[in-house]
Amino acid sequence: MKLMFDVVIIGAGITGSLIAHRLSKSDLRVLVLEKENDVAEGATGANSAMVHSGHDPKPGTLKCKYNLEGNRMFPDLCKELQVSYVPIGAYVASGSPEEEERLEVLINQCKERNVPFEVLSGEEAKKEEPHLADRISKVLSLPSTGIVTPWEVTIAAMEEAMLNGVELRLDCEVKKIEKKDDAFLINDEIEAKVLVNCAGAHCDEITGMLRPSPYKVLPKKGEYFVLDHLDGSFVKHVIYPVPTAKGKGVLAVPTVHGNVMLGPNSDFTDDPEDDATGDGLEYIRNQIVNTMKDVPYHKMIHTFAGLRPNIDLSDFYIREDEEINNFIHVAGIESPGLSAAPAIARDVVDEMILPKFTSKEKENYVHRKPFIRMDEMSDEQINELIAKDSSFGKLVCRCEKISEGQIRDVINRKCGATTIKGVKMRCRPGMGRCQGGFCEPEVLKILAQELHKKPDEILLDKDGSNVCVAYAKEEL
């Protein structure tokens, strides 16, 4: 028996999840398919985690349009989803006549696009950011730049969508699509009236199952350093160099939780699954000195790499297919894809999907409850919580001060965690200085208990990443 849906979305990154979230406000039957075992596993889970102001994209591009609109939508979106958004601001720092000349182009674009800005001398900027490199002579200040935790936004959007009837299938790789009359048949078992391709680095493969793809994915890899909690002692704003043809350059980016990221590089790769760090880290070290000095590498606790689903058309590719009705492309969502995601989701849903149906707004829409953040609670609130459930009084992660109760909470939800990384993404055990050295075994134990599995069935991350591979002695 085939499963029937009005809309099927392939890919549960931030764009696919926000499309699902917006559709969940209608009475349509919606399914999201994701080949990994959690949402936000691709580009969404490994990027610069910032909402760009819109000063940089080329005029007339979809990147420019959706960056500007998405930037203005993000504060309200995060308020609705009850996740963190910090309007931290950014500095674009120049230090030579050539760089100052390129900075003038950005200043003019800010004027044309109504992007708030201020121009500072090097001396003025260094009063705010004393770790700016000595060479910095002129700075473009962009106060509408924000920071978020991308996977937190994605998880929240999908959780709320599921609370309102959207279905999510994880570990469900799309291997076959056929067009049957007015419907799409997916993996011989799922029928959809409308199919939305949000498959990131695999978008061209999905399209190729129906016809030759009009674009080719050319993935770019970006690597990053992560520094321990610095709480503004090193950098208060996002610091950009003046952009080049290769991209925005190596940044210093404070995070919502008080860490600092340095990166990325930008190198093409032939492998759409290549997320290993390598020589790019040395490139970052060599480039960051153009904007920052006294980088505290002794505070480095983690490195990572992420892929950007760049395509050969140099812009986002967002449209209904020219040959196949009801097949919608959401491809090439590289930087500023995070910033653009709310506006992309709005237009895909409101202009490309809803007009195809006679639908109505859902009554009694359910909003999610935010994750329990004990670090944001008063002592009185914490004591009340522990009185109701003593597991909130048991500290599991010492670095991030995460309790057993918080971990159990993020497992037992819609779109709940099923892996150690899934728990880490939702409430941060393992994100701190020891990177899970103390808390990871306890997180594994809690996952096994809550999911009713054996410890050797619990994964660190993707399929095959079992933490325990054998028992030292037979179970009694």
What residues contact 127, with CB distance under 8 A and at least 6 apart? none
Residue pair 427/440 in contact (Cβ under 8 Å)? The answer is: no
For 312, other C-beta atoms within 10 Å of its C-beta total 12
What residues contact 180, with CB distance under 8 A and at least 6 apart? 191
Q: In three state form, how does the secondary structure of 273-308 look?
A: CCCCCCCHHHHHHHHHCCCECCCCHHHEEEEEEEEE
Residue 11 Ramachandran class (φ > 0 left, ψ -120 to 50 alpha, else beta): left
- Share of the chain residues as helix, strand and coil, in percent rounded to the nearest 5: 35, 20, 45
Beta bridge partners of residue 206, listed in sequence order = none
Closest CA to 65 of 316, 238, 329, 352: 316
Closest CA to 349 of 362, 331, 330, 332: 330
CA–CA dist 47, 247 (Å, integer): 14
Q: What is residue 240's three-state secondary structure?
A: strand
Tokens of 73: 């939508």
CA–CA dist 285, 291 (Å, integer): 11
Closest CA to 320 of 169, 422, 232, 194: 194
Residue pair 346/73 in contact (Cβ under 8 Å)? The answer is: yes
Closest CA to 321 of 439, 203, 435: 203
- Active-site position among 52, 202, 237, 329: 52
Q: Is 52 a catalytic residue?
A: yes
Residues labelled as active-site residues: 52
